[in-house]
Structure 1
């Protein structure tokens, strides 16, 4: 059963990433390895403990879009994911998926957090660190490759994707995987949050708009995070 969707956001050209100037936004400073406690501004009764470690790649750090998407899911979807089959794409350490598993009412089907092989041990570490074994499962999913058998069996109808737009050569691979997921489950909704940092990010969104039904998501915090270059959309199969 697909969770109910909020109404589309009103047109707001001032906040559109396609309307932002050509200046580039700097990447945030890298953090030293360590364990952080993240409570999403009190939205989690018990904060997540998250190991952040860049030794295996930039996905090992908490990035801004993950915080925005996590807060959105906790504020707007706390009670409507009981029947959802949930997968996080490009999870890194698993921030968003773990937050949903900890703070939202989810069913008995394990929530999948997925990324490349290099991130697998970090995802598993964070699952164990938060005592979410059995509720969250780590899996390898390489963009642009056939979906793993476990993902095909899951047939996710809710996909979480935060900070996946950062490496231009991977854009076609990411789009292919998003398309494969919507082909696998045409009624699925992809919650997609990204920070515009480079000119190429605009081209990614334009291509996504040609392939999918792209809708800006209603969120009371939208004026704040949009001014920081962060944008939150749903992607659905075109009808």
Structure 2
């Protein structure tokens, strides 16, 4: 489908208020225990630490995407699927999926820059997921690590739209990773007008649609979050 056709079909796509959104308050280092409103039978333990970058904190779109994936796939649907999370920070989304969904092809890879590597590894250990999840360094714009699936079945990306100079690198990474049979679950919070330039750009390369099966959409859309 062409970009023009998509625009005609969904003219109000991502139609947000132009008001700027404040960033959440920076947290002190600590460990959160999350069950995503009961979607996990055993809590996910996630250490937050901003010492090495803002990715070490829980961000709102990550919570939204985690709940969506658990609700959608908690009872099946990921059998034999390869999964890669990009811009994982501490690994929230990937670890939630690994803990609450079953049957995917192990290992799942959670990835970010080298400054997040130890935090990702720490959170894998905290949740006894070493047999299911591996942490990898994957810099946007660079080649996919050779020991990871180059075009996985599922790509997870939450709160990756926040730094405008990185938009071309993020787009290149998505182009590299998303194959003909891939699905990318991409959740972001619009904080500034420039964020929409990225969305408009990727619509030229991909068939981009809003999910239509999330009962939480009316709640998080009020916070300028889209999935």
Structure 2 Cα separation of the partners of residues 119 and 73 of structure 1: 23
| Map of 2:224 onto structure 1 | 229
Equivalent pairs, count = 217
TM-score, length basis structure 2: 0.92
Structure 1 Cα separation of the partners of residues 70 and 38 of structure 2: 10
> Unaligned regions of 5+ residues in structure 1, if any?
1-9, 233-239
Higher mean C-alpha deviation, range 71-80 or range 101-110: 101-110
| Map of 1:30 onto structure 2 | 26
Decide which of 180, 186, 192 is 1:186's aligned counterpart.
180
| Map of 2:3 onto structure 1 | none
| Map of 2:190 onto structure 1 | 196
1:50 matched to 2:51? The reply is no
Structure 2 Cα separation of the partners of residues 171 and 123 of structure 1: 23
Whether the 8 Å contact between 2:82 and 2:105 is mirrored in structure 1 is no
1:186 Cα offset (Å) = 2.0
| Map of 2:121 onto structure 1 | 124
The runs of 4+ residues in structure 1 deviating greater than 3 Å are 10-13
1:108 Cα offset (Å) = 4.4
1:11 Cα offset (Å) = 5.5
| Map of 2:96 onto structure 1 | 99
Structure 2 Cα separation of the partners of residues 159 and 209 of structure 1: 17
| Map of 1:69 onto structure 2 | 65
Structure 1 Cα separation of the partners of residues 11 and 99 of structure 2: 33
Q: Note the alpha carbon deviations across 1:17-72, whole angstroms, 9 max, x for none.
A: 3x223221011111000011011111000010100000000000000000000000
Structure 1 Cα separation of the partners of residues 101 and 164 of structure 2: 33
1:12 Cα offset (Å) = 8.5
* Partner SS, residue 194 of structure 2: helix
Structure 2 Cα separation of the partners of residues 105 and 190 of structure 1: 18
1:147 Cα offset (Å) = 1.0
| Map of 1:83 onto structure 2 | 80
Structure 1 Cα separation of the partners of residues 48 and 103 of structure 2: 25
Structure 1 Cα separation of the partners of residues 125 and 23 of structure 2: 30
Q: Note the alpha carbon deviations across 1:58-88, whole angstroms, 9 max, x for none.
A: 0000000000000000001221001110011
> Unaligned regions of 5+ residues in structure 2, if any?
1-8
Structure 2 Cα separation of the partners of residues 152 and 74 of structure 1: 23
